[in-house]
Amino acid sequence: MAIYFPDGQFVDTTEVKTAPGVIITEEGQALVRMKNAQSEGVLIASGDMDNELFEGFAVIGTAGAAINEATDTKVEGFLVPAGGTVKLQFAPVNAEVGIYNLTTGAAITGSTVTDRTITGLPVGANITVTYRRNLNWTQQTATQGHGTAGGYAGYQQGRSGIIRRASTFFTNCYDVSVDWSTVEYITLAPNGHLTEGDETTAIKAKVMALPNTDLAYLGIQFDAL
């Protein structure tokens, strides 16, 4: 599930038209409208903040899993042993990880990721590693449940639920390589994910909770209205 609902507090939700051909692949994906074609419906954000208007985040409530999501996020904790090498439970997608040193309170850079192994870490440091992993069908079913028979009806109707404003919103659609503890400006990235931006590209949002070993979701407060 790309949205963690138990701790979420949603202020404004509704249903919107999707642009022709749009297929939402994850709940929690950022949705936008094109500035020059707003009436065409919403699309998955591409990160082109010059031409896209932030509309909110996709939410689909069905009895079964509306979308069989192919990846999810994971946070693992380690006390780095002699040799400076640790081994993850799963191989990170595209070898992208975010490593945070809990001992110093800063991100770690310069390490090497090879399959499940990370080398070049500071010995004795207490660290967390955040990454995305691919899910096979068995893992999808175990973590998300069985999909809705026939697939999500919104694909046929060209509709999607959307969260436009939330005091607390937890999503795993975020850039795992970013040190979210230092982020001031949040912006949109390809595939409807969140990443670090600047004052000129930022959406109206701020970080409320960091991904951790108990809950690998990013908590934000946002307003798309």
pLDDT digits (tens, 9 = 90+) for 109-152: 999 999 999 999 999 999 999 999 998 877 776 666 655 555 66
**Is the distance from CB of 35 to CB of 47 less than 8 angstroms?**
no
Question: Both 125 and 160 in a single domain?
Answer: no
Specify which residues 52 forms β-bridges with.
34
pTM of the complete model: 0.79
Give the count of beta carbons closer than 10 Å to the beta carbon of residue 97. 19
Question: Both 170 and 218 in a single domain?
Answer: yes
Question: Both 80 and 191 in a single domain?
Answer: no
Question: Both 158 and 63 in a single domain?
Answer: yes
Nearest in space to 151 (alpha carbons), one of 67, 28, 58 = 67
Q: What is the pLDDT of residue 138?
A: 74
Q: Domain with 189 in it: what CATH number?
A: 2.40.300
pLDDT digits (tens, 9 = 90+) for 154-196: 666 778 889 999 999 999 999 999 999 999 999 999 999 999 9
Question: Both 157 and 102 in a single domain?
Answer: no
Question: Both 89 and 64 in a single domain?
Answer: no
Last residue of a domain, one of 113, 133, 153: 133
Last residue of a domain, one of 89, 107, 133: 133
Q: What is the pLDDT of residue 175?
A: 96
**Is the distance from CB of 60 to CB of 152 less than 8 angstroms?**
yes
Total domains, the chain: 2
Q: What is the pLDDT of residue 61?
A: 64
**Tokens at residue 100, please?**
């945070």
Question: Both 64 and 75 in a single domain?
Answer: no
- Residue 87: give the domain boundaries: 71-133
Question: Both 219 and 144 in a single domain?
Answer: yes
